[in-house]
Amino acid sequence: MAALSPELTFEAQSSFGPGNGITVDVSGPTAMLQVGDCVVLDRANEDLVEAVQITSINGQQLTLGTTAANVPNGVMFEHAAGCTMETGLLITEKRYLPKNRSEISLAKVPVARIVGGTGRYGYGRRGDQASYNTDNFNLLASLMKFGGPPAWEIWPANTAAGIEAETGQVWVPAGIMLAYYSEIKARYVAGFQYSNLPSVVKMACAQIITSLAALPPLGNVRMYQAGDTKIEQFTASLFGEDVKAMLGPYARGCSHEFVYLSAHCDGQSTGLGPHARVHVGLQRRGTG
């Protein structure tokens, strides 16, 4: 997931599920939601936790479900009254589609599951406007002129044939106008399961843990000087060149920068105890 703390939290007023297209009365700031947003249900209960998409909003009523072709129920489990619904825990990315193309590349890989996707139409810039997916002289143009920004619509996001898990390539189907969207939002989960976490990632995490344990709160230190106290490190962080080299194959984007990576270390194989773990954060420059 993308975060440990939710952005918004809602609470169900009655029990619901399982099923698709289920309407639930909730308490919370529903005005801050959009159709297509995804929520995590009952996160504190590992037997019931699941992620679903909001397909409709009517006041304090939310309709939960899925449009994915290969998932029978949007809500898979039965949830009691008081069930928490939290946003901001999934990875959310907004992408502009290339002209007349239906593929995008997600930043975090491997892609485990796309929970929900939305798209909307817009117009190209300058010389592209006359030859864009939809022309300037139709009902859509009138709605955009007088009705504000185009509305987001939901597309079937979890079709297995349209997702390349290792590369992050996703095929986005055409929308209601039978033309490709101008921009889309994808909400998804990415990463490795503990059972198949690459050994080199475990080793890199172990080295970072060892540095933190040996020299708290400092690591990667090249020199200590007692007189006129001085501490000199090899680099400005715990990520030395060897650790960067280990994590390099799992980075996306520019070859000399790193993207965000989250991993748990196998404490037993490193001698650091069964509960040893590290949260590795690597952010590509310019991505915020």
User: For the whole prediction, is pTM greater than 0.85?
Assistant: no
Identify the bridge partners of residue 54 per DSSP, sorted by sequence position.
64
3-state SS, residue 132: coil
Across the chain, which distance is largest between two alpha carbons, in Å?
A: 78
Q: What is the pLDDT of residue 81?
A: 96
- What's the pLDDT score for residue 228? 80
Output the CA angle 102-94-248, nearest 5 degrees: 90
How far apart, in whole angstroms, are the C-alpha atoms of residue 59 and residue 50?
23
Other C-beta atoms closer than 10 Å to the C-beta of 158 total 19
Burial class of 168 by CB neighbour count within 10 A (0 to 12, 13 to 18, 19+): buried
Element (H, E) at 105: strand 103-105
pLDDT of residue 261: 38
User: What's the confidence (pLDDT) of residue 257?
Assistant: 35
What distance in Å separates the CA atoms of residue 162 and residue 175, rounded to the nearest whole number? 15
Cβ atoms of 155 and 117 within 8 Å: the answer is yes
pLDDT of residue 126: 54
List the pLDDT tens digit at each of the 288 positions of the chain: 566 789 999 999 999 989 989 999 999 999 999 999 999 999 999 899 999 999 999 999 999 988 765 566 789 999 999 999 999 999 999 998 887 788 899 988 888 888 889 998 876 655 555 555 555 555 656 655 556 667 888 988 766 668 888 888 999 988 877 788 889 999 998 888 878 888 888 888 888 788 777 665 555 677 777 888 777 776 666 677 788 888 777 765 433 333 333 333 333 333 333 433 433 433 333 343
Q: What is the pLDDT of residue 9?
A: 96
